[in-house]
A = this chain, B = another copy of it.
Amino acid sequence: MPDELRDRGLRLTPQRELVLAAVRELGHANPEEIAEMVRLKHPGINLSTVYRNLETLENVGLVIHSHLGHGGATYHAADDINHLHLVCGKCGSVGEAPIETAAQFVNTIADDYSFKTDVTHFAIHGTCARCLETL
């Protein structure tokens, strides 16, 4: 679908297409990982081009970033954000749970604080089952 880029007023460059494809394929990935994947087909791409394209793609709503750990952002395809992330503070593993798991929590906060929460933006932090066992 090359027109999904043009329709949003963006030029269709190989770099841009490959960045979007990488985000979709990787599920969630940081800029460095995305650059690596893009380089398989377009070895010369510069990291700053990746950063700029991620920002651009996010501005037009094709891509979304979230924060899974202490460090930088990870990027997702916008239409793939239907889950929340369970990040283990011990081993760093990233689990997923359907977004409905938080539905009541979100509603409570909306009712009590008029705050519309986006549960996918930040990870849910805690300790995973395996790490709990080994304590």
Contacts and interface: CB of A to CB of B under 8 A. Distances in A.
Contact of A104 (B88, B104, B113, B117): B104
A70 interface: yes
Specify how many copies of this chain sit in the oligomer: 2
Contacts of A13: none
A101 interface: yes
Interface stretch (A28-36, A55-63, A121-129): A121-129
Given A89-B121, A115-B126, 9 more contacts: A86-B109, A86-B113, A88-B115, A101-B112, A113-B129, A115-B127, A115-B128, A116-B132, A117-B126
27 contacts: A67-B122, A86-B109, A86-B113, A86-B115, A86-B117, A88-B115, A89-B118, A95-B115, A101-B105, A101-B109, A102-B105, A105-B105, A113-B129, A114-B128, A114-B132, A115-B124, A115-B126, A115-B127, A115-B128, A115-B129, A116-B127, A118-B125, A121-B126, A122-B122, A122-B123, A122-B124, A122-B125
